[in-house]
Amino acid sequence: MKNITLQVIDLVKKVGVFILENQKKISSELIENKGLHDFVTYVDKTAEKQLVEELKLIMPEAGFIAEEGTETYKGEKYNWIIDPLDGTTNYIHGISPFAISIALMRNDKLVMGVIYEISLKECFYAWEGSDAFLNGNKIQVSEAKTINESLISTGFPYYDYHRMDEFMNSLSYFVENSHGVRRLGSAATDLAYVACGRFESFYEYSLSPWDVAAGAFIVERAGGKVCDFSGGDNYVFGKEIIAANSNTFDEFVNIIKTYYSK
């Protein structure tokens, strides 16, 4: 699994060069709307094709769960979960972060995760049984003890507003009772930052597997904890996630339950 991870790291760095080189070529007529405030460009699609082609060579037996639908067949045992460009809205507006996110799942278990934040050239990764790393250096979640000591990250709802009241109430609580709240615009990057201790906690709803799979795995390998809003383990496919360091996790989950279980 380590060898596979190292090959994926080389791959995301190569595709990252393509993504960065094409950023200035994006114009309004090249941006498609997949849905309300949900954008895609030829860069997303081409990057995904490049990733899929190379991943097939690394592990021919694996299937794919990919955001842009380049490949969607299910493997018997292994499946790649791919987001070729997480943070497309940031990307088309010329701001950071935006990232490539790749996870590998064996049956129902995540066994590898790689996130490459392209503009800073930061590669976060881990594999089954390993520590978590950033550009070759071991990382771990922060040691903050309470939410009051924490910097929180989240994602603003951009198409699914049915839990808007719950979100705004929870946001108000965290603004008043933490070091602050940040919204980067890339869930993969948010999770990577929890893993390396820049954020203590992250939560968001209406997410897809390719947004969270790699980051959730890296957070856990970095000593953090991950769950859905009810405290369960349906965070990859359940469209909601909490990730936090181990010290603040229980407190954070209880706060989310308070606002989202009403």
Residue 101: exposure state from Cβ atoms within 10 A (0-12, 13-18, ≥19): buried
pTM of the full structure: 0.93
CB 49 within 8 A of CB 40: no
77 and 50 in a single domain? The answer is: yes
Quick one: 128 and 178 in the same domain? no
Q: At which of 115, 139, 163 does a domain end? A: 139
Torsion of CA 140, 81, 203, 215, to 10 degrees: 10
Tally of structural domains, the chain = 2
| Domain containing residue 153: CATH number | 3.40.190.80
Say if residue 95 is in the same domain as residue 156. Answer: no
Q: Same domain for 201 and 221?
A: yes
Pair 29, 111 in one domain: yes
Asked if 183 and 108 sit in the same domain, the reply is no
Q: Can you tell me which residue has the tokens 């090249």? A: 30
Q: Specify whether 57 is located in the same domain as 41.
A: yes
Of 139, 166, 185, the position where a domain reaches its end is 139
Of 57, 50, 39, 65, nearest to 16 (Cα)?
Answer: 50
Residue 86 is part of a domain; what is its CATH number?
Answer: 3.30.540.10
Residues 222 and 123 in one domain: no
Q: Are residues 131 and 198 located together in one domain of the fold?
A: no
Q: For the residues of the chain, what is the DSSP string, one character each?
A: -HHHHHHHHHHHHHHHHHHHHTGGG--GGGEEEEETTEEEEHHHHHHHHHHHHHHHHH-TT-EEEETT-S--PPPSSEEEEEEEEETHHHHHTT-S--EEEEEEEETTEEEEEEEEETTTTEEEEEETT--EEETTEEE------SGGGPEEEE---SS--TTHHHHHHHHHHHHHHSSEEE--S-HHHHHHHHHTTS-SEEEEES--HHHHHHHHHHHHHTT-EEE-TTSSS--SSSSEEEEE-TTTHHHHHHHHHHHH--
In this structure, are 151 and 103 located in the same domain? no
77, 112, 139 - which closes a domain: 139
Range of the domain at 255: 147-260
Asked if residue 170 and residue 107 are part of one domain, the reply reads: no
- pLDDT tens digit at each of 262 positions of the chain: 999 999 999 999 999 999 999 888 765 555 555 544 344 678 888 999 999 999 999 999 999 998 766 667 889 999 999 999 999 889 988 999 999 999 999 999 999 999 999 999 999 999 999 999 999 999 999 999 999 999 999 998 877 788 899 999 999 999 999 999 999 999 999 999 999 999 999 999 999 999 999 999 999 999 999 999 999 999 999 999 999 999 999 999 999 999 998 5
Taking CA 115 as the corner, what is the angle to CA 111 and CA 119, rounded to the nearest 5 degrees? 170
Same domain flag for 162 and 212: yes
Cα torsion 22, 93, 15, 33 to 10°: value is -100
